[in-house]
A = this chain, B = another copy of it.
Amino acid sequence: MATSTVENYIKQIYLLQQNTSGERVSVGKLAAMMGVVPGTATSMVKALADSELVEYEPRAGLRLTRGGEQLALHVLRRHRLVELFLVNVLGLDWSEVHEEAEDLEHAISDKVLNKIDAYLNSPQFDPHGDPIPSARGKVPDMECRSIADCPVGRSFRISRITDQDSKFLQFAERNGLTPGVTIRITDRNSEADAVTIHVSGRRVMLGTSAATKILVEDKAARTR
């Protein structure tokens, strides 16, 4: 069985691969995300390669194998189902559940996971709008782009917030920027590096780097 350290590395590699759309991940980036010194990442990656969870070309980077991806998806499934459970059933705030799930994702058996899944009615998205992989490793797809590159004047539905930082999530919540909410993009000023949106009457200004973290889809889009 994979230790929770291994699960964390694999999960992180998966997430890095997502960002760079499938490119090889560099050992340095991985080390930075894991909060370890580069040498540590190197030796861990070698171990992961020995267990056939990643393909590793020294100095060129690494990529998950099929098995590694399966493991990553399984960990993410646990993480995200737990997050949703904590919010919907136990009433924790969405800004704090990421931290909690970081530990729980390694301690939950399939038996309990399936009960949670059933209790929640096999949901497809967690409280931040992140897709919950199915038990068989299928990821619900979502077409969405960030507020930072949406056309001005149109309305959208917020589908996902891609930052787990609790300060940011609290800010988003205070301003009504949560998944499911409809917003209208009213102005973009590339000099000021800012976007103005309207959300339930209020007017909110976002710098580009914040806007990038909020993903939306067309108003007409599928039910969530």
Within 8 Å of chain B (Cβ to Cβ): is A108? Answer: yes
User: Closest Cβ of chain B: how far from A201's Cβ, in Å?
Assistant: 33
Within 8 Å of chain B (Cβ to Cβ): is A168? Answer: no
CB-defined interface of A104-137 with B at 8 Å, one 1/0 digit per residue? Answer: 1011110110011001000000000000000000
A107 to B101, CA, bound (A): 9
How many copies of the chain does the oligomer comprise?
A: 2
Among residues 74 to 106 in chain A, which have CB atoms less than 8 Å away from a CB atom of chain B? 86, 89-92, 96, 100, 103-104, 106
Chain B positions within 8 Å of A90 at CB level? 112, 115-116, 119
Chain B positions within 8 Å of A104 at CB level? 104, 107-108, 112
User: Closest Cβ of chain B: how far from A187's Cβ, in Å?
Assistant: 40
Chain B positions within 8 Å of A106 at CB level? 107
The 9 closest A-B pairs by CB, nearest first: A107-B107, A90-B115, A103-B107, A104-B107, A100-B112, A100-B109, A91-B115, A90-B119, A92-B115
Task: Check A100–B111 contact: CB distance below 8 A.
Answer: yes
A90 to B117, CA, bound (A): 10
Of B91, B108, B112, which is within 8 A of A92 by CB?
A: B112
Chain B positions within 8 Å of A107 at CB level? 103-104, 106-107
A-B contact pairs, 7 of them (CB 8 A): A89-B119, A90-B112, A90-B116, A91-B115, A96-B111, A104-B107, A104-B112
6 further interface pairs, Cβ-Cβ under 8 Å (given A86-B112, A104-B108)? A89-B119, A90-B115, A90-B116, A92-B112, A104-B107, A107-B107
